[in-house]
Structures are given as structure tokens and as C-alpha cells.
Structure 1
Amino acid sequence: MDQIALYQRRRQSLYGWMLAAPALILLTIFALIPTVTTLWASFYSKGTVRRPSAFNGLDNYTSLIHDPAFWTVVWNNALYAGITIPFSIAIALAMALWANASIPLRGVVRGAYFTPTMLPMIAAANIWLFFYTPGLGVIDSITGLFGLPPVNWLGQPQTALWSVIVVTIWKEAGFFMIFYLAALQTIPPDFKEASAIEGAGRFTYARRVLIPLLMPTTAFVFINALINSVKLIDHLFILTKGGPNNATKLILYWIWEMAFAYFDRPHAAAMTVLILLFLGAVAIFQFRVLDKRIHYR
């Protein structure tokens, strides 16, 4: 009997490894190996034909920190994330509340909110490029009716990054709305009825019942929005290419520029490692702090 039980356990273990093998292989090829090679490359200097790359320790990281462009890009990305994340979440929640209400043509409203999400970022950037065209775009055509002069929205540092932020919020809010809409449909209507019986108004119900119950969804959306604020660069190639004067250059675009425009792959690898460390810290914070505070059991 012991041999039969041992055989059954080995057989189940083999089945488990067979089921997990495809995911493990893909993670190894596309995540683990690139991460290790990037970390290794960040400790070597830039190689040339006459002078091969050599191990230089933390020199790449030190030169990055002392580079003024590094802090410009970090500030741009921090401002970009600090505006796009809360506004995208707030607009997504508002759209979900409206789309979940008993209104006429509710399906049409949901489709209209979700339509920007279905567009590729390149297509969305081209649409907004038409809006931002100085003198001929939709925005300047409307402001011109009130006698306002045309504005080069993407061509001046004062407005370029804000224009990119608007595109991102327009694109992301509809995607996050789907998660809030799904979460709202899981909340029993008895909670609202009980709140009404107790004399609670809409604001009190939203503050004391609705928003706390939506906190797990908000945490999930926040993490996704934070990751998107680091990885979304498609629209920059169409709208600004990081300009003017590095006003819209974000971290991932700068990494691409260093690696493929200037062929400075060691510094690009070092910057990538810094991003991975930051995202790892965010993940630890989520699992160690947020999950314990917002999930109700």
C-alpha cells in the first residue's frame, strides 16, 4: 500500500510539473533570462571596436545619478504618474457609477466609455495629434471662436507634457472603468436599501459603504496604472518624441533612446535595473501593507 501511495504522489507531482512547465518555460525565456542578462550588462562599460567592454562595477549607476537628464526624466515620469493615476481612477469610478445606474441606453454608454480602450495607443496618439495641430486642430478651432490665439500644444515645454497626460487619461479611464463596473455589480443592493432605511444619503453611502468595498479593486487598478505610467511610450513616438527640450521624455523612452539611438546599452541596462527595483518595492508594499488593510474577510 505504501508503494501504491508513493506512486500516486509521484504521478500527481509529475502532472503538476507538466501543467506548470509551459508557464515556467515562458517565464524563464521572456522574464528571468532577460532580467539576469540586463543586470549583468549594467556592470560593464560601453564597448567599442578598439576598446572592448570591461567590468566597471557601479560606475554606470553613478554616472546616471550625476546626469542632469536623469533627474529631468525622473521628474517628468513622477509628474506624469502623479497626474494620470488619480485622475484616471477618479474618472473611471465616476463612469462606472453612471454606467451601472438605471439610465436609458446603458449599453451604448458603456460602449462609448470603453471605445478609447480598444484603440491602439498609436491610433489614439494620431487622433489627438489632429486635435493638437496648431491653428488647424480641433482645439484651436474651438478656442478660435472665442478670439483666442492658436497654441502649439506639443511644441512648447509649458504645455507638451500636460497634453500627453490628457491623452493617457482619455485612453486609460475606460479600461479601468471595466474593473469598477464589475466590482459594482458584485455589491448586493441590500446594502443600499439598508443605508436608506438608516437615513444615510448618497454621499454617506458612497463614503462609508461603496468606496470601502471598492478598495480591493482600487488597489488593483492603482498598481496597473502605476505600471502603465512606466511602460507606456507608444504615444510619445507620434506626439513629441520626448521633446521639446526633454519636456516629455519619460523613463522607458529614455531607455529606448540610450539603447537603440545612442547604442549605450550599459546605461540603458542600469536604468532598467533601477525601474525593476522600484517596481519590486511597489509589489512588496502591495502584498505586505495594502492587502492586509483593504481586503475584508
Structure 2
Amino acid sequence: MKPARTTLHAWLMLTPAMLLLVGFTHYPAIATLWHSLFTTPRATRPARFIGAENYLALADDPVFWQALWNNLVYAGATIPLSIGLALAMAMWVNGRLAGRTALRIAYFTPTVLPMIAVANLWLFFYTPDYGLLDQLTATLFGWGPTNWIGQQETALGAMIAVAVWKEAGFFMIFYLAALQAVPPNLYEAAAIEGASRLRVFLRVTLPLLGPTTLFIAVNAVINGFRLVDHIIVMTRGGPDNATALLLTHIYELGFRFWDTAAASALTMILLAMLALAAAAQFAFAARRVHYR
């Protein structure tokens, strides 16, 4: 009876988490898939089953392809930049330097700020002529006023800078905790062998940070397709869809044009992309991860 009681106790402990997971993750995903196979219901017209027509309509939508390309560029830039910057900041504040506590707080502060507040702060930075960025470029390089978020050439890059500034401090905390867990005797042995700092980093530090890097990379990929609050506040996907991402396009379809069926189809495409990306990371990156 004791094993049965232990099993029952384990299931009772898991039940609340499982109910939340099913209610807020699995059921909405299945319901979204179901709705994507129907037309959008109207006041005088109920939903009608149309199969994959919503997906075929998205394939003919140029805004969808523009948003997909923008999102790939956005994710391809924010993921390595935020991870690399986080690792550099963690290595810096993990060393013996004066005021490192204040520096850690400064690096982490953007993480605790709401994204809406961050967007409004960066709106001031990007204001033509009077903004902080224009003041710096005019002083250092003599450039004239630049509409950073109002022209297609710079708008997406400006959104990428905001996302990296927001994310890097969050990832830094995980790297800092992992660095502090590295046994000091490994560094002592490397010093006795006369290894250079670069070799110690490549052969000791980086392999031991593998599990943390994998965890951060999965979250960075998700955030690369999820963090769009600042885009909705600052550009609303403009100018001329230059900053439109998949999630902003879903928002436009579902809440501006009230085409919930098309929004559901695009949501399923986004979920499938994220699932494939996560599976690829665990399939290939996990082989290089060294667990202690």
C-alpha cells in the first residue's frame, strides 16, 4: 500500500499545475487550431468549416510575408546580441571590481521596468532633433536630425535595440549565477598549467555554462517572436509595415479587422515555428551541453 499512497500523493501534488497547464496552454492551443479551420463568425452568419483556406489566404497575403521576414531579422539580431551582451556583462560584474553591486543593479534595472514604460522612454531617445540619440550623433559625428522610427531603413533596427536593452539584463542574472557555481579549483588548475584567459574561457568557463546557455537560448528564441509591446506602442508596425512582426500582425487581424479565423491560423503557424525551433535546439545544442 505504501507505493500506491506515494503515487497518489505525487499525483495530488501535480494536479494543480497540470490543471493550469491544460487550462491555459494546451486547451487554448487546441481551440485555436479548431477555430483556424472555420470562417470568422458574424452577427448574421455563423462560422463555417473551410479547412485550410485560412492558411492558403495567408500564403497570398504580402503583409504576412513581410512580417515573417521582419520577424526572422528581428529574432536573428536580438537572440545573439542579447545573449552575447548578457554573458559579457555577467563576466564583468562577476570579477573583483569596485561598485560591482551597483553595476549589477544598473544592468538588471531594465528588466524590471514594464515594456510600456520602456517604449515611452525610448520614444524620447528617438525623437528627431531633440532626442538623446540625435543629440549624441550631432555632437560626435555632426549628423542632422534623423527620424529613427519613422523611416523604413532604421525603424526595425531601432526596435531591435530596445529589445536587446530590455532582455540582456535578465539573461545576465542566469549567467552570473552559473559563473558563481563554477568550482574555483578548476581556475586554479588552469593557472598552474599556464593557460591564457582566452583558453580558460573557451575550455573551462564556456563548457560549464552550457546548460545555462541552452536555457537562455530557448527563452531568447521565444522572446524573439513574443516581445512586441514596444512595437505596438512606438510604431504600430509602421512605417509601411517595416516593423510589422508575426505577433503584431496577429493583433491587427484579430483586434483591428476582427478576422479571428485568420488570426487563429497565423497563431498556429507561429506556434509551429516556435515548437520546431525549440526541438532543434534541444536536438542539436543539447549534445554539446556538459552537465555536472
| Shorter-normalised TM range | over 0.9
Whole-angstrom CA distance in 2 between matches of 1:286 and 1:148: 42
For 1:38, the equivalent position in structure 2 comes to 32
Q: Which amino acid aligns with 1:233?
A: V
Confirm whether residue 52 of structure 1 aligns to residue 46 of structure 2. yes
**Which secondary structure state, in structure 2, belongs to the residue aligned with residue 275 of structure 1?**
helix
Q: TM-score, normalised by structure 1?
A: 0.94
Confirm whether residue 14 of structure 1 aligns to residue 8 of structure 2. yes
Match of 2:250 among 252, 255, 259: 255
Equivalenced residue count is 291
Match of 1:161 among 156, 159, 175: 156
Confirm whether residue 188 of structure 1 aligns to residue 197 of structure 2. no
**Which secondary structure state, in structure 2, belongs to the residue aligned with residue 47 of structure 1?**
coil
**Which secondary structure state, in structure 2, belongs to the residue aligned with residue 243 of structure 1?**
coil
Q: Which amino acid aligns with 2:10?
A: G
- Tell me how far 1:139 sits from its aligned partner: 1.1
For 1:111, the equivalent position in structure 2 comes to 105
- Deviations along 1:175-211, one digit per CA (max 9) or x if unpaired, are 1000100010011122122112212111111112211
State percent identity of aligned pairs.
Answer: 50
Cα contact 2:74–2:224 (8 A) shared by 1? yes
**Which secondary structure state, in structure 1, belongs to the residue aligned with residue 37 of structure 2?**
coil
Whole-angstrom CA distance in 2 between matches of 1:283 and 1:93: 21
Give runs of aligned pairs for residues 125-164 of structure 1, distance below 5 A.
125-145=119-139, 146-164=141-159
For 1:286, the equivalent position in structure 2 comes to 281
- Deviations along 1:120-177, one digit per CA (max 9) or x if unpaired, are 1111111110000011111112223353210000000000000000001111111100
Whole-angstrom CA distance in 2 between matches of 1:147 and 1:289: 47
For 1:178, the equivalent position in structure 2 comes to 173
Match of 2:115 among 118, 121, 125: 121
Confirm whether residue 80 of structure 1 aligns to residue 106 of structure 2. no
For 1:245, the equivalent position in structure 2 comes to 240
Cα contact 2:111–2:166 (8 A) shared by 1? yes
- Tell me how far 1:218 sits from its aligned partner: 1.0
**Which secondary structure state, in structure 1, belongs to the residue aligned with residue 243 of structure 2?**
coil
Match of 1:220 among 208, 211, 215: 215
Query: Please, which runs of 5 or more residues in structure 1 have no aligned partner?
Result: none
- Tell me how far 1:50 sits from its aligned partner: 4.1
- Structure possessing the higher radius of gyration over alpha carbons: 1
Whole-angstrom CA distance in 1 between matches of 2:11 and 2:142: 69
Of 47-56 and 152-161, deviating more is 47-56
Whole-angstrom CA distance in 2 between matches of 1:85 and 1:292: 20
Whole-angstrom CA distance in 1 between matches of 2:224 and 2:142: 36
Query: Please, which runs of 5 or more residues in structure 2 have no aligned partner?
Result: none
Q: TM-score, normalised by structure 2?
A: 0.95
- Tell me how far 1:288 sits from its aligned partner: 3.2
Q: Which amino acid aligns with 2:146?
A: V
Calculate the aligned-residue CA RMSD, in Å: 1.4
- Tell me how far 1:283 sits from its aligned partner: 2.9
Whole-angstrom CA distance in 2 between matches of 1:288 and 1:248: 31
- Tell me how far 1:286 sits from its aligned partner: 3.4
Match of 1:211 among 181, 196, 206: 206
**Which secondary structure state, in structure 2, belongs to the residue aligned with residue 53 of structure 1?**
coil
- Tell me how far 1:239 sits from its aligned partner: 1.0
Whole-angstrom CA distance in 2 between matches of 1:26 and 1:213: 34
Match of 2:231 among 232, 236, 256: 236
- Tell me how far 1:26 sits from its aligned partner: 1.1
| Structure 1 segments (4+ residues) deviating >4 Å | none
Of 222-231 and 27-36, deviating more is 27-36
Cα contact 2:210–2:288 (8 A) shared by 1? no
Whole-angstrom CA distance in 1 between matches of 2:169 and 2:41: 45
Whole-angstrom CA distance in 1 between matches of 2:279 and 2:272: 10
